[in-house]
């Protein structure tokens, strides 16, 4: 798929709430993501804590949205300047015309992936112990230990129903492979779609990201008790790989190759959720980057169900559930007869 030039990739539109981004061309390589992430995590407890998204936005603005081997040098050089306090990010970016654009765009893509959280880790005896950590709290969509193959297929042609581009990333594997929630969020869509078959749509808590998981298993596509409105934590098992879809008849296996299609839609304005201004990004490099964090799952005896082995507490998920419960209690209180 040909990439638009930088000028055409930087577009904004107007809404009642002001301007919003209309297009994002996400070209950050897995190597650049890993480098920026490493600089962020290793500086977390230092005097100068580097923000990986700010580093990437600087490199994006410097390279016109393109990333190559030199981008790694740019990231390290910037990190050294900031760490040594030779200059501030404000000073270095004050004359960069598109820095703020890249910062907002990359924040929309990566904003929920790094932070503080608690997760069970095995101690010296193998017993799971809950530990507070800072780092990558997003996961690969394929459970640990399950094989898959993939390649960059974003933008390739699709012809079922109508001619269109492939706006996601396919990961080929085996029927029943546990599918993992990449980021914490709430289930916004669940059910049959003739293109995606059995599919799940999960919205991030900040509303900026919509994760789409499609072609799930026939007869048993979803994790037990998952429904619209459910809150999921990153790393949870949410469903199972299959090859459903390409049919108006529910529960039909009409896809030749068993695979997960996962897509990431960015939403800067709700008018973009469904319509002509949808923004879907290439997730190949993200899939490579997230391979470093795969959630381990175990089978529930006597069932088709798999569950995560090590439990996690994500502060943003806990805060969302707290606000949701408060809203529910208030709604019930106001509904009581006077």
Section 24-32 average pLDDT: 96
326 pLDDT band, cuts 50/70/90, is confident
264 forms bridges with which residues in the sheet? 211
Condensed to tens digits (0 to 9), the pLDDT of residues 237-247 reads 999 999 999 99
Q: In angstroms, rounded to a whole number, what is the distance separating the alpha carbons of residues 192 and 210? A: 17
Sheet holding 114-122, edge to edge: 128-136, 114-122, 312-313
pLDDT above 80: residue 106: yes
Q: Quick one: CA dihedral 281, 287, 288, 292, positive or negative?
A: positive
| Helices 30-42, 52-62: crossing angle, 10 deg rounding | 140
128 forms bridges with which residues in the sheet? 122
Instruction: Please tell me the predicted confidence (pLDDT) of residue 165.
Output: 74
333 pLDDT band, cuts 50/70/90, is low
Instruction: Please tell me the predicted confidence (pLDDT) of residue 8.
Output: 39
pTM summary value: 0.91
φ, ψ for residue 89 (rounded to 5)?
-65, -35
CA 188 to chain centre: 15
The mean pLDDT of the chain is 91
Condensed to tens digits (0 to 9), the pLDDT of residues 246-304 reads 999 999 999 999 999 999 999 999 999 987 789 999 999 999 999 999 999 999 999 99
78 pLDDT band, cuts 50/70/90, is very high
Q: In angstroms, rounded to a whole number, what is the distance separating the alpha carbons of residues 243 and 172? A: 10
**Cβ atoms within 10 Å, residue 308:** 24
DSSP letter for each residue of 209-247 = EEEEEESBPSS--B-TT--TT-EE-TT-EEEEBB-B-SS
**Cβ atoms within 10 Å, residue 134:** 14
Instruction: Please tell me the predicted confidence (pLDDT) of residue 69.
Output: 93
Choose between 166 and 214: higher pLDDT: 214
Domain spans of the chain? 6-110, 149-312
Section 87-102 average pLDDT: 95
Instruction: Please tell me the predicted confidence (pLDDT) of residue 162.
Output: 64
Instruction: Please tell me the predicted confidence (pLDDT) of residue 14.
Output: 60
pLDDT above 80: residue 52: yes
H/E segment holding residue 315: helix 315-335
111-115, 155-159, 213-217, 266-270: least confidently modelled range: 155-159
Domain 149-312: CATH class, spelled out: mainly beta
Condensed to tens digits (0 to 9), the pLDDT of residues 175-227 reads 999 999 999 999 999 999 999 999 999 999 999 999 999 999 999 999 999 99
Q: In angstroms, rounded to a whole number, what is the distance separating the alpha carbons of residues 63 and 149? A: 30
Q: In angstroms, rounded to a whole number, what is the distance separating the alpha carbons of residues 111 and 24? A: 15
């Amino acid at each position: 798929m040909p990439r638009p030039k930088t000028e055409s990739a930087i577009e904004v539109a107007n809404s009642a709430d002001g301007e919003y981004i209309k297009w994002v061309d996400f070209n950050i390589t897995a190597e650049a993501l890993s480098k920026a992430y490493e600089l962020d995590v290793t500086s977390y407890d230092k005097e100068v804590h580097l923000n990986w998204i700010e580093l990437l936005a600087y490199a994006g603005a410097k390279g016109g949205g393109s990333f190559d081997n030199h981008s790694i040098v740019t990231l390290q050089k910037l990190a050294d300047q900031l760490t040594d306090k030779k200059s501030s990010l404000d000073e270095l970016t004050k004359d960069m015309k598109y820095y703020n654009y890249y910062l907002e765009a990359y924040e929309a893509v990566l904003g929920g992936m790094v932070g503080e959280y608690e997760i069970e880790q095995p101690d010296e005896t193998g017993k799971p112990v809950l530990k507070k950590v800072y780092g990558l709290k997003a996961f690969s969509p394929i459970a640990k230990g399950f094989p898959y193959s993939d390649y960059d297929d974003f933008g390739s042609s699709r012809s079922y129903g109508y001619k269109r581009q492939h706006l996601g990333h396919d990961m080929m594997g085996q029927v029943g492979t546990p599918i993992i929630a990449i980021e914490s969020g709430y289930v916004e869509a669940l059910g049959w779609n003739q293109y995606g078959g059995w599919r799940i749509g999960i919205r991030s808590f900040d509303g900026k990201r919509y994760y789409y998981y499609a072609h799930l298993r026939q007869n048993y596509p979803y994790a037990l008790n998952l429904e619209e409105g459910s809150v999921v934590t990153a790393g949870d098992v949410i469903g199972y790989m299959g090859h459903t879809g390409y049919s108006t008849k529910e529960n039909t296996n009409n896809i030749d190759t068993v695979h997960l299609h996962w897509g990431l839609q960015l939403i800067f304005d709700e008018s973009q959720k469904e319509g002509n201004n949808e923004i879907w990004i290439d997730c190949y490099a993200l899939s490579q980057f997230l391979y470093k964090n795969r959630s381990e799952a175990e089978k529930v005896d006597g069932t088709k169900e798999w569950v995560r082995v090590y439990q996690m507490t994500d502060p943003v998920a806990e805060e969302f559930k707290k606000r949701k419960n408060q809203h529910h209690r208030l709604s019930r209180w106001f509904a009581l007869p006077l």
